[in-house]
């Protein structure tokens, strides 16, 4: 298992210019106080020969201090370097990052997705283009393009590569100019308008395109839409200028997204997470879950912790269960599993899933039993959410327990569906919802649009001090001013029956409750005397 409860997400200058262009996140995150660290010709005595950097490690930005000695051969930098001989920020960042992993060798064979997280604090989603059949499945390819475009427009980092299957394949250049085993940086994603003049504007024909850069700064794609190809004649001059099309071997080039999916095998989408309450544009809400949800489970990496040696990562993953709308305590029996990640011995396991409105429990585990490790679970949604740890197994006993009593039973109420509800207008249309009430606690479902046979599929969990009191389930129609009562059922659950399913006719309220109303409701009840049985 994993520790923690389940979750209910001598250098003359550092830079030769006044900008740090390597990340689309605030540079002070990775290079704090970088202006103060820059070489000052007017105050040479202030130079101390040390530099500070920061990397996002397991939930926090960690400070790393290095000196100014860099590895060289024949007075040339061995590893990362700039074309400008007086610019050293890239080599210094690389040295600081190598220190995180113990040495430069520790960076060999590293994972690009993990590195993007370390430099941004974002969430990386690896996408296997071969497994997703993106080259042949047009629908899946179009959906992927919209995701890639969304990440790019929100200032995310995107990397792509062509998988090398053998050692001989590494750095092998294909006939089209692409190189295997390279981590290409995606620098732009656009829908490019084809044609010239007003005709192009009204025709509105657009091509899905993506721009990349070879880390070597040379050797480009030579196929359609390469720098000097005739396809660019289909695009107006103003559109070409807007795209920044240049005819030079600078390593940067455009491709159609169709061609991209034909040649590339992997793409990594690193979303930058902005959860600041003071921000004008929040990209994601951190932490009831709705719409698209990003879940990232991360374990503490052993190869970056010298005291723990170079042990292998644990095989980790997680399951997502849809539970009762009012669940406050830990889950003790299997619920409705709606999704789950793969289990892999990677530092991070990622899942992107569309979930309908409701409450969910995420359970992170190791693949093999009885293994332990520290983990970080991050959840992000497009809309406000209410994430919290489930730390208690059942309701706690307090100083008020003796006076107010303690629950004797626990009952799970699963309202499944209704049939034949009475229409409220000439068309018979309804927008029904259901309310479950037990000992003063209420659970309300979302509104189901335009149906007389709603599939409610909602659950409520009730810890009951008065077992003889009935459980009320009422159905209403949502209206502009006053909602309309459609009927109710009252249930009594016997703990001797582990699971009961009822299909009942709806009744009226008050003294008329014996009168049947149109429609039936199907409900399943589970009751237990042990509060940790559900």
Q: Which residues are marked as active site?
A: 8, 182, 214
DSSP for 466-514? -TTSPEEEEEEE--SSSPEEEEEEEE---TTSS-EEEEEEEE-SGGGTT
Number of H helices, E strands in the chain: 9, 25
Q: What is the 3-state secondary structure of 376-434?
A: EEEEEECCCCCCCECCCCCCCCCCCHHHHCCCCEEEEEEEEEEECCCCCCCCCCCCEEE
Q: Count of CB atoms within 10 A of residue 196's CB?
A: 15
The answer to whether the beta carbons of residues 125 and 380 sit under 8 Å apart is: no
Sheet holding 375-381, edge to edge: 285-286, 375-381, 291-299, 348-355
The answer to whether the beta carbons of residues 153 and 186 sit under 8 Å apart is: no
Alpha-helical segments (H) within 101-196: 112-120, 138-153
The answer to whether the beta carbons of residues 170 and 180 sit under 8 Å apart is: yes
User: What is the distance between the alpha carbons of residues 211 and 39, in angstroms, rounded to a whole number?
Assistant: 35
Q: Count of CB atoms within 10 A of residue 69's CB?
A: 10
At CA 178, angle to CA 173 and CA 183, rounded to 5?
105
Strand-pairing partners, residue 410, are 463, 528
The answer to whether the beta carbons of residues 275 and 284 sit under 8 Å apart is: yes
């Amino acid at each position: 298992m994993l520790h923690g409860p389940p979750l209910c997400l001598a250098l003359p200058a550092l830079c030769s210019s006044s900008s740090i262009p390597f990340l689309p996140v605030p540079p002070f995150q990775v290079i704090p106080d970088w202006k103060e660290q820059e070489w000052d010709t007017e105050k040479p005595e202030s130079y101390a020969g040390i530099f500070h950097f920061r990397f996002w490690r397991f939930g926090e930005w960690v400070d790393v201090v290095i000196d100014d000695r860099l590895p060289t051969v024949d007075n040339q930098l061995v590893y990362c370097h700039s074309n400008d001989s007086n610019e050293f920020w890239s080599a210094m960042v690389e040295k600081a990052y190598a220190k995180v992993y113990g040495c430069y060798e520790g960076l060999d064979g590293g994972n690009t997705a993990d590195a993007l997280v370390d430099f941004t604090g974002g969430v990386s989603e690896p996408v296997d283009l071969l497994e997703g059949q993106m080259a042949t499945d047009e629908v899946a390819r179009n959906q992927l393009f919209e995701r890639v475009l969304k990440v790019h427009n929100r200032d995310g980092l995107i990397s792509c590569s062509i998988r090398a299957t053998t050692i001989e394949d590494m750095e092998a250049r294909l006939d089209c100019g692409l190189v295997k085993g390279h981590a290409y940086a995606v620098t732009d994603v656009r829908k490019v308008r084809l044609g010239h003049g007003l005709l192009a504007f009204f025709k509105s024909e657009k091509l899905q395109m993506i721009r990349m850069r070879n880390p070597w700064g040379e050797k480009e794609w030579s196929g359609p839409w390469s720098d000097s190809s005739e396809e660019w004649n289909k695009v107006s001059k103003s559109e070409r200028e807007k795209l920044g099309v240049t005819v030079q071997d600078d390593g940067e080039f455009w491709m159609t997204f169709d061609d991209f999916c034909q040649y590339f095998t992997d793409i990594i989408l690193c979303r930058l997470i902005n959860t600041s309450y003071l921000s004008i544009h929040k990209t994601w809400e951190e932490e009831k879950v709705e719409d698209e949800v990003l879940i990232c489970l991360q374990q503490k990496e052993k190869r970056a912790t010298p005291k723990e040696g170079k042990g292998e990562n644990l095989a980790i993953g997680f399951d997502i269960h849809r539970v009762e709308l009012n669940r406050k305590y830990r889950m003790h029996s299997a619920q409705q599993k709606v999704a789950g990640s793969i289990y892999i011995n990677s530092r991070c396991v990622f899942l992107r899933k569309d979930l309908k409105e409701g409450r969910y429990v995420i359970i992170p585990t190791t693949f093999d039993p009885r293994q332990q490790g520290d983990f970080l679970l991050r959840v992000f949604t497009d809309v406000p959410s209410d994430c919290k740890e489930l730390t208690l197994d059942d309701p706690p006993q307090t100083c008020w327990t003796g006076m107010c009593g303690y629950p004797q039973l626990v009952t799970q109420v699963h309202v499944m569906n209704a049939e034949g509800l009475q229409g409220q207008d000439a068309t018979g249309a309804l927008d029904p919802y259901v309310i479950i009430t037990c000992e003063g606690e209420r659970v309300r479902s979302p509104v189901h649009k335009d149906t007389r046979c709603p599939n409610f599929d909602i659950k409520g969990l009730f810890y009951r001090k008065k077992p003889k009191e009935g459980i009320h389930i009422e159905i209403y129609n949502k209206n502009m001013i006053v909602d309309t009562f459609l009927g109710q059922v009252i249930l009594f659950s016997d703990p001797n029956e582990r699971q009961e399913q009822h299909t009942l006719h709806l009744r009226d309220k008050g003294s008329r409750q014996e009168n049947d109303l149109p429609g039936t409701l199907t409900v399943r009840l589970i009751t237990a005397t042990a509060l940790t049985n559900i």
